[in-house]
Structure 1
Amino acid sequence: MKTAIGAAKNTSWALAFADFKEITKVRLAVSVVFSSLAGYLLGADQVNLVSLVLLAFGGYCMVGASNVYNQIIEKDLDALMNRTRNRPIPAGRMSVNRALFIAVLLTLLGVITLYVLNPKTAMFGAISIFLYTSIYTPLKTKTPLSVFVGAFPGAIPFMLGWVAATNDFGIEPGTLFMIQFFWQFPHFWALGWMLDEDYKKGGFKMLPTGKKDGGTALQIIMYTIWMMVISVIPVFGITGRLHLSIPAAILIFLMGLVMLLFAFKLYEKRDNASARRLMLASVSYITLMQVVYVIDKFI
């Protein structure tokens, strides 16, 4: 009997943990934390392990809180879409009150943890939650401009790490912000292209023209080019302490060209398979670009 009870408790905890990971969107949150840590390493004169841990924990809490608030607000719409109907709230595995408790707790933990690093980091973290929850989320069913608004909180993590390391906001974190800002358009429009039919079930307007057409594909190409240009600007020595060597800049530019090739393929074929390849290329680009920046600093 005790064994059966223990096994049931273990199963219950495992399911609860699985729901926690899903409602905080663990993979997205981890990728955001990675961006923050990369920004920290770029800004830090000396790497402090405690600061890295605080940034990782606080960053996860802030991203997780944003995702939970988002799923509370969109619970009825999530129930209409194939990709989201099995989320904890629409599936009935988690109540709204429990989700709200998790969101508030994560918000408090995140703000307090980031404040320990410095007040500016906590401020930018709080701004990201406000923009994502209070402006981006409601706009998703009203206008494709929601992607533009959502790009602001989405671009904060890379620069947040620099601010956490330096307690300063200037040209360097501003450049990191702009890189991730422009990257988000081809990334999310490729995702929106793939999931357009499902998004429409929930009433979401994610593509800039509202259609999977040449206009959307052309805008993806344009924003990809802007992303490539801004990603290599530090090589010209005009971004303060944020530097990039010529070999690193060439490597990053070539990675951008690969992503641009996929964007042109989408313009040519205009199918979901091309959009998926572009989306995967964009994920690889943002990760590898940040790795190159960090390695370039330390070698």
Structure 2
Amino acid sequence: MAVIETSIKQHTIVSDFKEITKMGLSLSVVFSSVAGYLLGADQVSLKILLLLALGGYFMVGASNAFNQIIERDLDVLMDRTKNRPIPAGRMTVNTAFIIAVIFTILGIGILYTINPKTAMFGAISIFLYTSVYTPLKTKTPLAVFVGAIPGAIPFMLGWVAATNNFGIEPGTLFAIQFFWQFPHFWAIGWFLYDDYKKGGFFMLPTGKRDRGTAVQTIMYTIWTVLVSIIPVFGFTGKLYLSPIAAVVVGLLGLAMVYFAFRLFKEMSAIAAKKLMLASVSYITLLQIVYVADKFLRDLWI
């Protein structure tokens, strides 16, 4: 009986650790960073790749832990967050704070061993997410704009890690993921509107599930697609996209635009959830296409 109780307790501790650091989200950020690194690297270093993955994971984990500490009193009001470790009483604020601080030190420290610029952008991401985006969520819809900045850093962070340089190439990667954040988070804000309302969060640009929000979602979706195919024109330095890859990215983008228009037409939580899923698929497949296109071109050359 003691063995069974111990295994259950260990499972709970592991689950809470995963939730306080949002492991799933952290791993998706690592994926974006790795994609950016592969795009920027002339020669792939497994050592730097591993350091980037670890540093990126700790960086996002720290941001999420700080976020849950700050929002603990609001999390208890919402169905989707009331069972998080802190509001549910399974983890103390002090424990979460220790995890957040350790993750911050490890994340920035590991990224610094790659190069100082990578560490700087990692630190900026943690600061903006924790100290600016999180407090603004209950005050203004502009919080999404602020949150889109740290959200867009991982893709470009990989390029900076590979080159120790910030220029047009990582700037373009940043722009792609920056514009993508808006339809993605507005879709989430739409289908979780009632739950967010309980916590007093302002996520939608007009504050309502109305035509104005739907139109802005369409606009930012289109801008996301346009920015995503810009590298095919050769304006973005070493970041280049072949015509075939640009067509693939464009078709993926049209699918996301389709779901944005579906939201405008149906004005429903179901349509918003479909757009959210389409946006996740889009950014993931885009990064895969970008990386595959680069390495296939290198093989041909």
Who is 1:281 aligned against? 278
- Equivalences, count: 296
- In the TM superposition, what are the counterparts of 1:188-207 in structure 2 within 5 Å? 188-207=185-204
- Tell me which residue corresponds to 2:90: 93
Query: Kindly, what percent of the aligned residue pairs are identical?
Result: 69
Deviations 1:148-167 (CA, angstroms, capped at 9, x unpaired)? 00000000000000000111
TM-score normalised to the size of structure 1? 0.98
Matched residue, 1:72: 69
| Paired residue type of 1:142 | K
Superimposed CA distance per residue, residues 76-111 of structure 1 (whole angstroms, 9 cap, x where no aligned partner): 000000000000000000000000000000000001
| Greater CA drift, 99-108 or 44-53 | 44-53
Question: In the alignment, what sits opposite 1:34?
Answer: 31
Give the letter aligned to residue 145 of structure 1: L
Q: Which residue of 2 aligns with 1:54?
A: 51
Stretch moving more, 90-99 or 14-23: 14-23
Is residue 254 from structure 1 mapped to residue 254 from structure 2 by the alignment? no
2:165 is paired with a residue whose SS is coil
Correspondence for 2:11: 14
Out of 260, 271, 286, the residue aligned to residue 263 of structure 1 is 260
Mapped partners of 1:206, 1:26: distance in 2 = 23
Q: CA deviation at 1:11?
A: 2.6
User: Residue type of the partner of 1:252?
Assistant: V
**1:243 partner SS:** coil
Question: SS of the counterpart of 1:207?
Answer: coil
For residues 192 and 268 of structure 2, the distance between their equivalents in structure 1, rounded to whole angstroms, comes to 11
CA distance in 1, matches of 2:2, 2:165: 53
After superposition, the C-alpha distances for 1:148-201 in whole angstroms (9 at most, x for unaligned) are: 000000000000000001110000000000000000000000000000000000
Partner residue, 1:243: 240
**1:113 and 2:113 equivalent?**
no
Give the CA deviation at 1:10: 3.0
| In 2, Cα distance between equivalents of 1:64 and 1:194 | 25
Q: Which whole-Å CA distance do the structure 2 matches of 1:272 and 1:200 have between them?
A: 14
What residue identity is the alignment partner of 1:104?
V
Q: Which of 138, 143, 154 is the matching residue for 2:140?
A: 143
Secondary structure at the aligned position of 1:232 is classed as helix
The one-letter code of the counterpart of 2:158 is G
**Is 1:219 aligned to 2:216, yes or no?**
yes
Deviation at 1:6, TM superposition (A): 4.0
Hey, what's the Cα distance between the residues in 2 that align with 1:158 and 1:9?
Answer: 40
Paired amino acid for 1:87: R
Matched AA of 1:159: M
Q: Distance in 2 between matches of 1:110 and 1:265?
A: 40
SS at match of 2:250: helix
Query: How many Å separate the matches in 2 of 1:12 and 1:272?
Result: 37
CA distance in 2, matches of 1:126, 1:6: 42
TM-score normalised by the chain length of structure 2: 0.97
- Which moved further from structure 2: 189-198 or 14-23? 14-23
For residues 214-272 of structure 1, what are the alpha-carbon distances to aligned partners after superposition, in whole Å with 9 as ceiling and x for unaligned?
Answer: 00000000001110110000000010000100000000011000000000010011001
